[in-house]
Structure 1
Amino acid sequence: MSQTLITRAAAIAAATALAATGILIAAPANAAGESIVLANDSIHFTENDWGAGISLTGTGFGVADGGLAQVDVGTLDGPVFTAWNSAPLDTPVESGGTIAVTGWVPDALPQLPASGLTPAVRVTYELCEGTSCEFSDTTYVYANIVIDPFVPGDPGITITPGCNTVEQIQTDGYSIVVTGLDQFETVGDYVTGPDGEQFGESTQLQADVTGTATGDFTLSGDIQLGLYTEHVVRFGGDAVDFVSGTFEVGTCVAPTPTPTPAAVVPPAPKLAETGASEAGLLTGGALTLLVAGAVLVVLRRRATA
């Protein structure tokens, strides 16, 4: 191990408490105060899955006229860094000593670290002046990351379409999506017909990094109308279905939509029931007005008599 790396080891060990923030500065006595900051979605990864990749920004890299930095990812065991990737990512140091990496997917999958090892991203660069770099004065800057164990989702199966005609099942077929498996797990798959007997041959499906397996199938031969069952079985078990789902081969008539009932308009409010017709009410009102007018005439005549 070089003396330069040993000198930087003390700074690395002293900064491990900053792992939760994704920021870890390893600054030797003659360094310019370099630091790298990981994007929020580049701190936590799931084993075997880099997701959207590693993104980071860096400042304070003491390169006067540009230069090149290299990015690796791996584990720290005290001062010793072991890279997972076989080839580092080259990234330019921009004017002002800044670097930026977006969505880097290393050529090795992230693994759960053994006890005592700390997953980390390392940026390496050489102090340069003009076009000359001093390779004997290599600077290492680290940022801790977290590798979370993979947790399978809920077991499930989705079959689309849920119904096919005989012609459709022979030509277009159907698709299945199985969830809740382990990463890269291989499972068996077969179909039973309406009579409960296996229809066709068994096949195998392999899950991806998310524990999801997919498949596209058609049926051929003597196809009966009725309900078919898709069976997904784990290997090494007791042959009990991991998940199963059904689909139909038949006429597949689209359901008739239920008409929306028309809006009910409430009736206009009625007058109180008095036993008199509307015509009677109008007549009574007119008589009242005539009587009132006659009284006024009498009063006026009496006042001038």
Structure 2
Amino acid sequence: MSRSILSRLGAGLVATALVAGGSLLMAAPASAAGEPNTITVANTAFQSGAGWGEGIKVAGTDFPATTEITVAAGVGNGQSGDGWGSTTVTTDANGAFSTTLIPENGPTNVREGFTASVVASYPDPDPLAEEGARIFSNAVELQIADFVPAPFTTTIDPICISGVDAATTGVNVSATGFGQFEEGVVYTLTDAAGTQIGDAEPVNIDETGSVAGTLTLQTTLDGVPSGPIADGVYTITFTGSVTTAGLVTVGNCDAPVTPAEVVPAAPQLANTGSSDAGILVGGSALLLLVGAALMVARRRQNAAA
């Protein structure tokens, strides 16, 4: 997500500054029906962190005929803006168009003093216009409901893996239930005796309050990978505003395994589930992660703790 600070606003341009495709777009005041370069949006209500569903359905009238139009969505306050994404569409012989915009980013919570909106624009055809000048439509405001965290879950796949595969192909892991773009979330790995292996590693939480990725597990010697980890049952724990934990097993997957019970950090237990959003980042810890039988626990962190 990019951000641009406007050093100056052109005369008559107010409301929203959107960054889309590397270009700074500034939306003009809302137009009355029948005025040139007018857009309407069929669906304006969205949930922060819940995606765009079928997209933003935009229609335009009274634009120049057979002209390429850029339709963009984002948030701004007239001085700075965050672009969520854009698309292009060509008007028909009557200067009309209809398109569905599914931005690459967002929707996210709208900060106080900012407005989420959609705007359309095209290059200013006036030969005397400044290079890069554009003509803008009215801005249509989007209503973005505040983010609501998903149920807290941890999912690991496959649920059992050999030591060799754990050190090479690794496993897929995801966790949900955190705040949007929450900072300070870490994961740790402990063995069956409760001993932490390696350091706590930070993870990046995305706009959905989730994290996911593929992790490998291996021992290291002075920071250098030295081979597979020992067979056994391990616990991977994500800790932030909530705590979720899953049991993981390395060993002979042909033999039936009855995992031990996860012991949560607090007595309150969470439901199990799955998630497939976000990007998990880990450092060069002693080991990263393996898949195994899944149980999930969580606790709401106490600020006084």
TM-score of the superposed pair, with normalisation by structure 1: 0.55
Alpha-carbon offset, residue 58 of structure 1 = 1.9
1:243 matched residue in structure 2: 244
Alignment of 1:36-51 (within 5 A): 36-40=39-43, 43-46=45-48
| CA 52–113 in structure 1, closer or farther in 2 if over 3 Å, else same | farther
Residues 127-169 of structure 1 show CA distances to partners (whole Å, capped at 9, x for unaligned) of 9xxx87998xx77434231112111111111122222233333
1:19 matched residue in structure 2: none
CA contact (8 A) 2:38 2:63 kept: no
Amino acid at match of 1:103: L
CA contact (8 A) 1:43 1:144 kept: no
2:59 to 57, 60, 63: 57
Alpha-carbon offset, residue 177 of structure 1 = 0.8
Amino acid at match of 1:46: S
1:27 to 4, 29, 32: 32
| CA 208–73 in structure 1, closer or farther in 2 if over 3 Å, else same | closer
2:97 to 91, 99, 111: 99
| 1:227 and 2:233 correspond | yes
Cα distance in 2 for partners of 1:2, 1:223 equals 62
CA contact (8 A) 2:166 2:218 kept: yes
| Percentage of pairs with the same residue | 24
Alpha-carbon offset, residue 246 of structure 1 = 0.4
Structure possessing the higher relative contact order (Cα contacts under 8 Å, 6 or more residues apart)? 2
Cα distance in 2 for partners of 1:110, 1:224 equals 43
Cα distance in 1 for partners of 2:76, 2:236 equals 47
CA contact (8 A) 1:187 1:205 kept: yes
Amino acid at match of 1:156: T
Rg comparison, structure with higher value: 1
| CA 193–95 in structure 1, closer or farther in 2 if over 3 Å, else same | same
Alpha-carbon offset, residue 105 of structure 1 = 2.8
Cα distance in 2 for partners of 1:71, 1:4 equals 20
Alignment of 1:1-305 (within 5 A): 26-27=31-32, 31=35, 35-40=38-43, 43-46=45-48, 54-59=56-61, 61=62, 63=64, 65-67=65-67, 69-73=69-73, 84-85=82-83, 91-103=89-101, 105=103, 111-114=109-112, 118-124=115-121, 140-185=137-182, 186-215=184-213, 216-220=215-219, 223-234=229-240, 242-253=243-254
Which residues of structure 1 form unaligned runs of 5+? 10-23, 256-305
Deviates more, 1:186-195 or 1:99-108: 99-108
Residues 15-72 of structure 1 show CA distances to partners (whole Å, capped at 9, x for unaligned) of xxxxxxxxx97227x836x6533254x642526966775441223x153x44454545
Cα distance in 2 for partners of 1:173, 1:2 equals 53
Cα distance in 2 for partners of 1:140, 1:213 equals 38
> Relative to total residues, which structure has the larger helix share, 1 or 2?
1
Q: Give me the CA root mean square deviation.
A: 4.6
TM-score of the superposed pair, with normalisation by structure 2: 0.55
Q: What SS does the aligned partner of 1:167 have? A: helix
1:293 matched residue in structure 2: none
Amino acid at match of 2:204: Q
Aligned length: 223
Amino acid at match of 2:35: A
Cα distance in 2 for partners of 1:86, 1:228 equals 40
